[in-house]
Amino acid sequence: MLDKKALRDLSYGLYIITATTKDGRKVGCIANTFQQVASEPPMASVSLNKENATTQAILETGEFAASVLSEEATMDLIGPFGFKCSRDVDKFTQVEHRLCEAGIPFVISGCLASFSVEVHDRVDAGSHILFVGQVVEAEKLAEGTPMTYAYYHAVLRGKTPPKAVSYVEEASEPNEQPSAAEAAVNAGATEEGSAPKYGWRCKLCGYIEMMDELPDDYTCPICGMGKDMFERVEL
């Protein structure tokens, strides 16, 4: 018996993993698998989907960086790194970031700490590759509470990207309905008159737009999905 619901009881953080391709292009993605695995020397690991542009860059260069997301981080930061591909868009244009000594970008916006890792080993893990390496740089960026994967799901109502380690098919995802207050955090209520009776939630990234009807040409500001990927929810 394999009850995939049991996997939901595993604890994860949420991180932005970044790298630089051989031709100097900055790439990055969201991961919940970055962790310290040894103390002397300090070693860390991350598991990334083989199809990710970030994975390919790490395979080419043997280096990556990781930024620890804060609970203050918003979906407009998380969404592009989690639901868009670095081959199609430059995810760093609207994000505050710096370069480590090795020239790898790391995100500052909404993050508490950053780490630069030199890969020593890699393990083929089916759909993913597990990278293990030595932490060669580390910086405390801000004070705050690190975002957990549970917080991302329960408070931000974020979805699991299809390429994530912990992805479960949509039919198995819990059917959670947002409160009016949570919807207001994402989209804001109307300033005049009565608030909309309905919200529209993106079935891919979880973003909620507060309006009674979506325009036909509407696209999600987080993941870029069209109107047909939104479901109506009562507020």
3-class SS letters over 73-103: CCHHHHHHHHHCCCCCCCCCCCCCEEECCCC
pLDDT at 21 over 80: yes
Q: Distance of CA 162 to CAs 19, 36, 82, 166, Å?
A: 21, 25, 9, 9
pLDDT at 157 over 70: yes
pLDDT tens per residue across span 189-228: 444 455 657 789 888 787 888 888 899 999 888 888 889 9
Contact 27, 86 (CB under 8 A): yes
Domain ranges of the chain: 12-169, 177-234
pLDDT tens per residue across span 99-151: 999 999 999 999 999 999 999 999 999 999 999 999 999 999 999 999 998 89
Q: What is the pLDDT of residue 100?
A: 94
pLDDT at 39 over 70: yes
Buried b (16+ CB within 10 A) or exposed e, 91-128: bbeebebeebebebbbbebbbbbbbbbebeebeeeeeb
Single-letter code of the amino acid located at 14: L
Query: At 171, is the pLDDT very low, low, confident or very high (cuts 50, 70, 90)?
Result: very low
**177-234 CATH:** 2.20.28.10
Q: What is the pTM of this model?
A: 0.81
pLDDT at 68 over 70: yes
Q: What is the pLDDT of residue 153?
A: 82
Q: Which helix (H) or strand (E) holds 57?
A: helix 53-61
Q: What is the pLDDT of residue 154?
A: 83
Four-way CATH pick for 12-169: 3.20.20.10, 2.30.110.10, 3.40.30.10, 3.40.50.10130: 2.30.110.10
Query: At 229, is the pLDDT very low, low, confident or very high (cuts 50, 70, 90)?
Result: confident
Structure tokens that stand for 67 in this block: 């930024």
CA proximity to 129, closest of 43, 78, 23, 58: 58
pLDDT at 188 over 90: no
Q: What is the pLDDT of residue 168?
A: 61
Q: What is the pLDDT of residue 179?
A: 44
Residue 46 to residue 120: CA distance in whole angstroms: 12
Structure tokens that stand for 112 in this block: 């508490």
